[in-house]
Structure formats: C-alpha cells, structure tokens
C-alpha cells in the first residue's frame, strides 16, 4: 500500500484525461461534477455540466434557482434527488458560511447529499487535505490490488478508507485521489478484462498474480428488480400535450409526468380512462411499448397517443417548445412521445 503514491502520481501526470471539471479546483465545480457523475457516464455528464454552470455559475445562483429551472437543467440525468440536495446544500453554504464552501471535512460531510466519498473528494482535490475518497472505481482497484475477498458492502468501503488513510500523501493528496479514480475508470475497469499491461500497479497486484482480476470486488447478489406495469396516455389537443405534476414524495417526486395509470390497459379501457378525465378522446393514433429501468424497479410501459377534443384544467397543456425549454419530463415518460 505504501507504494501506491509513488506508482500512481507519475502515471496520472502522463495519462490523466482532459475533463472540464479538472480545469480548476473550485469547490463548486468539483462538487457539481462529483454529484453529476454518480450513476452517470462521463461523456453524458460533460454537456450537462457545461449547461448547468452557464445557467447557475456560482453557489449563490444555485441557492436562488427555481425548482423548474433545476429540474430542466437536470432533465435526463435521473436520480433527481441529487439536484434537490445540491440546492439544499447551497442554501446552507449561503446562510451558514456566507457563500464560501466550508474547508473542513466534517463540515463538508454534514452538507445535504454529501457522503463519505464526495466529502473526501472535495476535501482532497480542493483543499489539499489527505482524506481518502473511495467510490466504486477505487474500491475495484484496491480489492484487486490486495485480492480482498470480503463482500463489497459499506463496511468494506469503510475499511478501505482506513487502509488508504494510512498511506495518503500529504503532498498532492488531490492528485492522488484523482489518480485512483482515473485508474479505475480507464485501466482497472469493470465489466470485462482490465488493461493490466498498462497498469502502473501490475507488479504488486495480487489479483493479477493469481490471474483472477475479474473476481474482485466480490459482489453480493442483487435482488431482482420489481417490474411494474403502467399505461401512459399521450393526450394531444391541437398542438398541446397534457402533463401533470407528480406527488412530492416517492419516485420522481415533484416532477412533471404524462398522465398514466397502474397496470396495462386495453384499448377500450384506455379510451374509457381518457373519457373519465374529460378530454373527449378519439381513437388512439398509435400504440407503443417501452421499458424504463430504475435502480430497483423496471417500468413496463404501454403508451397510447390519443387526440382530444377538450383540454380540461385537470392537466397542464403544453406546446412542443415548452417541453423543450421549460418542462422537465423524465426519460421514463419522454420515451413515450
């Protein structure tokens, strides 16, 4: 473990990717990128990151933004609780720290939506504190490097943080944090054989010596996703489409949605539901099947597109332009359009 910094830091200098959030060490930029990168690919995050900062260039702007603005900026990224927590934390930073990001690990960790990993990343990258940050990439690197057979769970990550803390360099701790992340992202990758030939740690890697790199980390079998059937009605009245707000709790809380019901409805039942909503429907123009996967749930969607003669106030009726510029419609519903 003591060899990690001397092996990784020179490698990182030569091989680091040129990513937008590495242009500086501004806490707001690092924080935003780390939250966006949770459960999301780097290439997808790049355009969201640029657009978000263009609209909300600093923490004060984030704290003052409307929920509609936030939802639209986050549209398509998923896990919308992330952006709600971003704003909650921004408001704390403005009210308790005068808009300046706190520099102490414990204070960073106490902000809404920030866990051990994100706090460690910000503390080390932005403030040169020798604090470990263990995400999935780092966990994979370390369990392969040490051939750690313990199951991958929160307890293991806690132990790995302690192990890393004992060897964290006081010089360039932020680069060391990013080097570990980078190695897991581009060399010691998941879902396939890692690129051991180009790994700076290969000489000491126990899993490589054993020839079983892909056995680590040891995964606990996941429970199968719960499948939920839904019927989505794309109700069109002239050039407008019906949307409505979801409840403020639960999955996709507070976001816009297309009108929908539980279970799959037959054509006749879908028309009857539309009639019950008072939209005076005609026969559906099209029927479409789709699926959308959340972390623990899979939606099996049946989508009917129906022309309507009435547009009751039960829904908000929006234009195509409003859908593009104002209304944040989650991917689970946008695929039905």
73/44 Cα distance (integer angstroms)? 13
Strands (E), the chain: 226-237, 240-245, 256-257, 260-262, 281-293, 297-308, 316-319
Domain with CATH 3.90.79.10 in the chain: 226-334
Per-residue tens of pLDDT for the chain, all 337 residues: 999 999 999 999 999 999 999 999 999 999 999 999 998 999 999 999 999 999 999 999 999 999 999 999 999 998 999 999 999 999 999 999 999 999 999 999 999 999 999 999 999 999 999 999 999 999 999 999 999 999 999 999 999 999 999 999 999 999 999 999 999 999 999 988 999 999 999 999 999 999 999 999 999 888 899 999 999 999 999 999 999 999 988 899 999 999 999 999 999 999 999 999 999 998 787 889 999 999 899 999 999 999 999 999 999 999 999 999 999 999 999 999 9
Q: How far is residue 267's CA from residue 51's CA, in Å, rounded to a whole number?
A: 41
Q: Is 159 a catalytic residue?
A: no
pTM for this one? 0.89
Comma-separated ranges of CATH 1.10.340.30 domains in the chain: 4-215
Q: Which fold, 4-215?
A: Endonuclease III; domain 1 (1.10.340)
Count of alpha carbons within 13 Å of 214, Cβ hemisphere only? 6
Q: What is the architecture of the domain spanning 226-334?
A: Alpha-Beta Complex (3.90)
Active-site entry in 6, 34, 43, 257? 34
Whole-number pLDDT of residue 222: 84
How far does Cα 232 stand from its chain's mean position?
25
Return phi, psi of residue 118, to 5°.
-65, -40
Per DSSP bridges, beta strands 297-308 and 226-237 are: parallel
């Amino acid at each position: 473990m003591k060899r990690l910094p001397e092996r990784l830091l020179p490698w990182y200098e030569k091989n680091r990717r040129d990513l937008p959030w590495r242009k500086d060490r501004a806490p707001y930029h690092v924080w935003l990128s780390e939250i966006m990168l949770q459960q999301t690919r780097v290439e997808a995050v790049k355009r969201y990151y640029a657009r978000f900062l263009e609209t909300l260039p600093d923490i004060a702007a984030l704290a003052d933004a409307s929920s509609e603005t936030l939802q639209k900026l986050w549209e398509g990224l998923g896990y919308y609780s992330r952006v709600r927590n971003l704003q909650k934390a921004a408001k704390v930073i403005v009210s308790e720290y005068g808009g300046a990001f706190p520099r102490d690990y414990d204070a960073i960790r106490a902000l809404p939506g920030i866990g051990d990993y994100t706090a460690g990343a910000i503390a080390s990258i932005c403030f040169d504190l020798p604090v470990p940050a263990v995400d999935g990439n780092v966990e994979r690197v370390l369990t392969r490097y040490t051939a750690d057979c313990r199951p991958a769970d929160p307890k293991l990550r806690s132990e790995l943080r302690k192990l890393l803390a004992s060897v964290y360099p006081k010089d360039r701790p932020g680069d060391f944090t990013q080097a570990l992340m980078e190695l897991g992202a581009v060399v010691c990758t998941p879902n396939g054989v890692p690129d051991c030939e180009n790994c700076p740690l290969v000489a000491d890697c126990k899993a490589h010596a054993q020839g079983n790199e892909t056995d680590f980390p040891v995964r606990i079998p996941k429970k199968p996703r719960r499948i939920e059937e839904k019927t989505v009605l794309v109700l069109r009245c002239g050039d407008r489409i019906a949307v409505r707000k979801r409840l403020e709790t639960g999955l996709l809380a507070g976001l816009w949605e297309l009108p929908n019901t539980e279970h799959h409805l037959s054509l006749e039942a879908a028309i009857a539901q539309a009639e019950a909503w008072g939209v005076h429907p005609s026969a559906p123009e099209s029927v479409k099947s789709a699926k959308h996967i959340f972390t623990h749930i899979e939606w099996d969607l049946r989508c009917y597109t129906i022309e309507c003669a009435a547009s009751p106030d039960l829904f908000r009726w929006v234009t195509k332009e409003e859908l593009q510029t104002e209304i944040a419609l989650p991917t689970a519903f946008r695929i039905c359009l």
